[in-house]
Amino acid sequence: MQPMTDRPAAAVLLSGGLDSTTVLAIARSEGLECHCLTVDYGQRHRIELDAARRVAAAFGAASHRIVALDLRAIGGSALTADIAVPKERELDRREVPVTYVPARNTVLLALLLGLAEVVGAEELFIGANAVDYSGYPDCRPAFLAAFERLAAVATVAGTEHGARYRVRAPLLELGKADIIRRGLALGVDYGLTWSCYDPGPDGLACGRCDSCRLRRRGFAEAGARDPLPQARG
């Protein structure tokens, strides 16, 4: 299929978090027609799905799909099983934490590739980051390059019609503060986003998980105020 307008199309993986929202802003700034995909994979922090809806609407996405895929059936992660989310962990340690979801980005990018083929997009945007990525192997450059090679041979568009799929990770080498500065320069309202892995019953971000602390440190280093409240203590 072809894009819905004369603008080139992009498929954007949108979690509703700070990084993916910034990536959507970047794709929009390039004049791309953005088709967003959010995956409800049974994550503990399903509140991010509401954030994704807000963000897609605010940016006027050409389309926004939410696909249900229950990775709790596999488990193995603090985000999809009864495993405690680590709190106050040393942020710069390189071992992979239990918030890693086995094969998550492989599965999510596969779904995004399917969407790209349907809407006629050759640009696949993902908010992967190799600086503040908590050690996840599926946020590393080698993984993204391998998936791009896979996309070339895994689709009719690629094998029969010459589509040249590109996996775009514009935040890959940026620290959280630089990501925030980039987003603010593009007019991102980070009050629409969500980052916490373990929100409390009061709806507040916990303030102590890796994601909360990376976000807080990023805003502090960027010299900006985070509009998203976090619990303290």
pTM above 0.75, yes or no: yes
| pLDDT value for 80 | 94
Kindly state the greatest CA–CA separation across the chain. 57
Are 9 and 124 a contacting pair, CB within 8 Å? Answer: no
Band of residue 231 on the pLDDT scale cut at 50, 70, 90: confident
Contacts of 231 (CB under 8 A, 6+ apart): 200, 202, 204, 205, 206, 207, 208
| pLDDT value for 61 | 98
Band of residue 134 on the pLDDT scale cut at 50, 70, 90: low
Residues 215-224 have pLDDT tens digits of: 999 999 999 9
- Residue 166 sits at the vertex; the CA angle it makes with 160 and 171, to the nearest 5 degrees, is 165
Residues 10-30 have pLDDT tens digits of: 999 999 999 999 999 999 999
Count Cβ atoms below 10 Å from residue 50 Cβ, excluding itself: 12
Are 194 and 45 a contacting pair, CB within 8 Å? Answer: yes
Asked whether the predicted pLDDT for residue 5 surpasses 80, the reply is no
For the chain, the helix, strand and coil percentages under 3-state DSSP, each to the nearest 5: 40, 10, 50
| pLDDT value for 3 | 45
Alpha carbon distance 126, 142 (integer Å): 14
Asked whether the predicted pLDDT for residue 4 surpasses 90, the reply is no
CA trace torsion 7, 155, 171, 48 (10° rounding):
90
- Which helix (H) or strand (E) segment holds residue 33: the answer is strand 33-40
Superfamily of 9-222 according to CATH: HUPs (3.40.50.620)
Pairing of β 9-13 and β 166-168: unpaired
Are 63 and 35 a contacting pair, CB within 8 Å? Answer: yes
- Which helix (H) or strand (E) segment holds residue 34: the answer is strand 33-40
The first and second tokens of residue 142, run together, are 């080698």
- Round the average pLDDT of the chain to a whole number and report it: 92
| pLDDT value for 133 | 57
Residues 152-192 have pLDDT tens digits of: 999 999 899 999 999 999 999 999 999 999 999 999 999 99
